[in-house]
Structure 1
Amino acid sequence: MEINSYPQFDETLYTATLDNGLKVNFLPRTDFHKTYGILTTDYGSVDNEFVPLGETEIRRFPDGIAHFLEHKLFEKEDHDAFELFGKYGADANAFTSFTRTSYLFQTTQNVAKCVTTLLDFVQTPYFSEKTVEKEKGIIGQEIKMYDDDSNWRLYFGIIENMYPKNSLSIDIAGTVDSINKITAKDLYDCYKTFYQPSNMDLFLVGNFEVEAMLELIKENQAVKEFPSPEPIKRAEEFFDLEGRDIIPYRMTELEVQRPKTIIGIKGLDKVPAGRAGLRYKLAVELLLYLLYSETSDKYLELYDEGILDDSFGYDFSLERGFHFATISGDTNKPQELSNAVIEIAEHALEFLDDKEAAFELAKRELIGRNIQAMNSLESIANRYEAELFENATLFDVGALLEQLTLADIKAVAKQFLRSEAISVYQILPKEDEDK
């Protein structure tokens, strides 16, 4: 077992890779009552075109199948995994993103039983055509619910602008039409390909004894049989790195009270691999903080002018194969807001001149937030990135932030903030046809 110590935080992370390839991470916190566990596979909504395990040709699967599979794994022939967790006094959940699917639990009791339940239900698939047909109706309702969510529509509207020819632009849950094409065989084919133990990792944090937990998991895995692992062959996504595919502007009208504006900045630059990629991510987050947080001069100016309000915010996403920023808000002056956001981005280098003091304050703020997040078991486990950032954890972030300089932020601004990478999507109130 590999041991990584963080003496400055009085934390120790224990890591082991089992014989079947499953990677396990343990962060014991015996002073906590709660334990949190998350089992993740490197498989998300964009992975719908690949060579299934045991085959030789690339096949395309229906959009939304990774999310559909996540739903179906909880249901077994004679029981539901949610009921088992409830019996042990635990809460369970799952989520699917663009590039990963995770299953999780949190509990203050029966930790060993919860860990084996998590492993067993994820590693024992049961799909039948009857239960698959039933699930189509349930997920179809979920899709329609999100279709009525204006903020969700805003978010995917800008993604469609930035990635119009990419599977990123398709809702993680798929469409009603696409999920209706899913079969039980499709689910098994996806499962066998991506739910290999060697494509998964388990992170446990909380009140447990490491050696005993490792033995429990080894025993659980030893009695299970898995297909011989093979390298996963995904179809290569085309990412336009010159911005030619980006749709500069679109809008739609919906039943909303106020206009909504979102500005997207698509990453056209190449992100470095490993820990350098995490350093890049932190640099962009610092850059966005300096430009668009409520502490910036421009934010206060736009607030006083009534162009933005407390709904204004920004986000940065960096996952396997892509990265982008979004800046959005509700406003009665949508064009003024989008123009102001773009102007700040295009003149970022000028704005950052003589901002050394502001940069140091921003860095301290982000380091403080990171330390505060260490009090959350969920934050520690959920922010673990296995392959993407060379197994970096929340405890590695502070040191990387400390290393960053204002010159680093300017360099990132120069490569990331490009005019050709910017797009705008707006949702405007639907006009009353009776007027």
Structure 2
Amino acid sequence: MVEELKYQQLNETVYKETLDNGLQVFLLSKPEMAKTFGIFTTNYGSIDQTFTPIGKDEQVTVPEGIAHFLEHKLFEKEDRDVFQDFTKLGASANAFTSFTKTAYLFSATSHVEKNVKTLLDFVQDPYFSEESVEKEKGIIAQEINMYDDQPDWRSFFGTIQSMYHQHPVKVDIAGTVDSIQKITKDDLYTCYETFYHPSNMTLFVAGNIEPEAMMTLIRENQQSKEFPDAPVINRSYPDEPIEVAEKSQSIKMPVTTAKAMVGVKENVKDLSGQELLRAELLSEMILDFYFSRSGAFYEELYKNDLIDDSFSFETELDRQFGFTILGGDTRKPDEMTKRVKEMLHELKDTSISEEDFTRMKRKKIGQFMRAMNSLEFIANQFTHYHTLGGDLFDVLPVIESLSPKDADEYLQHWIKEEAISIFQVKPQDA
């Protein structure tokens, strides 16, 4: 039964259906677009290392990096590489693994129905052999080593590792060179069978489509396949304290300018979908107000030669974990991190005026509306918020509902000394 989700403020209608096998399908028709974008996502990412496999009673812990490894292997079939299937249909295909999800996607201007079928069929038809698994280990090991040589990646991941004691978010999404050597064909099938059941997945197609015909095609495609009953997935994560694992860490790399990051470990334990969304928006708006190029804090840091144009910030709040990271290149890493940390603490004593907050909201709404011109943004973010129990199309009304009082209350409880960590990448001769 197709449900119409009408969002009058944005003048959009999303067509939703939960199929008999549990797959949730969302369609957004935008006939004015030449392109169509499809994304098939499973609620399974790099942090899902400990779980009870389907049909078993005891928990297992699989090697680090297996979700990413599985993403790579699904494109390789016994007789072909799936990327070629998409290329023949004039489509561009890709995939990614995050901490909490794995996504397979394509964009195309023609043969849209065939591309949607190809997307569904290849993800739902795994083929792993011992020989191909062994071969993949070398490829992914090279990828891991390549990232290990990138100072930006090391500073980002080093900050997360400094914050977390034992939560698997501290492990590189691709795993380590050692951990991937332990992955077997059987491990891949165990993870696939547990997490790739349609009831744990979402399909979102946006663009130049006719919703009724597309829903019929997807429904028929799924009805032609057999799936076991929807499993209850039991995942397990270690208890993680609020305080950071390391207050300060640094490494040396062949860089000419140091990189310095300040990490804030966010407490997301009691936040649901809508509350996560509110917290994320408030964090982003406050950081933008103080630390973007027009912000007072940015101006002071820049004037004192503590930062350059590379300075940036981001907040990620997800199931089981959350963090905010600020930083960039600096010639004075110790001075910079000390001052940024002081500024974060100073936020507790600040109050944002009605006028400033109105400006902040207008800017955030403008950024959001511009992003909504991108099918990729809509599809990616819709599935992200949906997995967390929220709704992308609620972002606008939530922004509009926020008040200076909300911001002041958020600032009162946000920054705690025990939740701040510093990570630096310093030149080898420093």
Report the TM-score, using the length of structure 1 for normalisation.
Answer: 0.96
What corresponds to 2:326 in structure 1?
Answer: 327
What corresponds to 2:356 in structure 1?
Answer: 358
What corresponds to 2:220 in structure 1?
Answer: 219
1:410-421 correspondence runs (5 A) = 410-421=408-419
C-alpha deviations, 1:137-189, integer Å up to 9, x for none? 11010000001011110011111110132211111000111101111110000
What corresponds to 1:14 in structure 2?
Answer: 15
Amino acid at match of 1:8: Q
Amino acid at match of 2:409: A
Task: Compute the displacement of 1:399 (Å).
Answer: 0.9
Task: Compute the displacement of 1:320 (Å).
Answer: 1.0
Structure 2 runs not aligned, ≥5 long: none
- Pair 1:369–1:271, CA change in 2 (3 A): farther
What corresponds to 1:170 in structure 2?
Answer: 171
Percent identity of paired positions between Structure 1 and Structure 2? 47
The answer to which of 289-298 and 375-384 deviates more is 289-298
Work out whether 1:232 is the aligned partner of 2:233: yes
- Cα distance in 2 for residues equivalent to 1:415 and 1:383: 27
Q: 1:376 aligns with which of 374, 377, 387?
A: 374
Work out whether 1:315 is the aligned partner of 2:314: yes
Structure 1 contact 269–415 (Cα < 8 Å) conserved: no
What corresponds to 2:347 in structure 1?
Answer: 348
- Cα distance in 1 for residues equivalent to 2:153 and 2:402: 34
Please state whether the residue corresponding to 1:309 is helix, strand or coil: coil
C-alpha deviations, 1:70-99, integer Å up to 9, x for none? 000000011111000000000000000001
What corresponds to 1:136 in structure 2?
Answer: 137
- Cα distance in 1 for residues equivalent to 2:354 and 2:259: 33
C-alpha deviations, 1:373-406, integer Å up to 9, x for none? 111000001111354443402x321110011111
Amino acid at match of 1:96: T
Structure 1 contact 286–409 (Cα < 8 Å) conserved: no
- Cα distance in 2 for residues equivalent to 1:237 and 1:409: 31
What corresponds to 2:252 in structure 1?
Answer: 253
Task: Compute the displacement of 1:7 (Å).
Answer: 2.4
What corresponds to 1:65 in structure 2?
Answer: 66
- Cα distance in 2 for residues equivalent to 1:246 and 1:406: 33
Structure 1 contact 291–348 (Cα < 8 Å) conserved: no
Task: Compute the displacement of 1:39 (Å).
Answer: 0.5
Work out whether 1:155 is the aligned partner of 2:156: yes
Amino acid at match of 1:144: N
What corresponds to 2:203 in structure 1?
Answer: 202
Please state whether the residue corresponding to 2:287 is helix, strand or coil: helix
- Cα distance in 1 for residues equivalent to 2:54 and 2:330: 49
- Cα distance in 2 for residues equivalent to 1:239 and 1:81: 40
Structure 2 contact 43–387 (Cα < 8 Å) conserved: no
- Pair 1:336–1:265, CA change in 2 (3 A): same
- Cα distance in 2 for residues equivalent to 1:166 and 1:274: 21
Structure 2 contact 75–82 (Cα < 8 Å) conserved: yes
Work out whether 1:302 is the aligned partner of 2:321: no
Structure 1 contact 269–416 (Cα < 8 Å) conserved: no
1:17-56 correspondence runs (5 A) = 17-56=18-57
- Cα distance in 1 for residues equivalent to 2:390 and 2:340: 34
Structure 1 contact 45–99 (Cα < 8 Å) conserved: yes
C-alpha deviations, 1:253-293, integer Å up to 9, x for none? 10011000000000135442122221121111112122212
Please state whether the residue corresponding to 2:5 is helix, strand or coil: strand
Please state whether the residue corresponding to 2:40 is helix, strand or coil: strand
Structure 1 contact 76–126 (Cα < 8 Å) conserved: yes
Amino acid at match of 2:3: E
- Cα distance in 1 for residues equivalent to 2:400 and 2:334: 38
- Pair 1:354–1:88, CA change in 2 (3 A): closer
- Cα distance in 1 for residues equivalent to 2:268 and 2:371: 29
Structure 1 runs not aligned, ≥5 long: none
Amino acid at match of 1:109: S
Amino acid at match of 1:62: P
- Cα distance in 1 for residues equivalent to 2:144 and 2:390: 33
C-alpha deviations, 1:306-349, integer Å up to 9, x for none? 11111001000011111110001101011121111111111103
What corresponds to 1:398 in structure 2?
Answer: 396
Structure 1 contact 271–280 (Cα < 8 Å) conserved: no
Structure 2 contact 269–320 (Cα < 8 Å) conserved: no
- Cα distance in 2 for residues equivalent to 1:147 and 1:396: 38
Task: Compute the displacement of 1:357 (Å).
Answer: 2.2
C-alpha deviations, 1:241-260, integer Å up to 9, x for none? 3x1x5210010110011000
- Cα distance in 1 for residues equivalent to 2:215 and 2:132: 35
Structure 2 contact 352–407 (Cα < 8 Å) conserved: no
- Cα distance in 2 for residues equivalent to 1:190 and 1:124: 14
Structure 1 contact 22–198 (Cα < 8 Å) conserved: yes
Amino acid at match of 2:91: A
Report the TM-score, using the length of structure 2 for normalisation.
Answer: 0.97
- Pair 1:233–1:188, CA change in 2 (3 A): same
- Pair 1:354–1:100, CA change in 2 (3 A): closer
Q: How many residue pairs were aligned?
A: 428
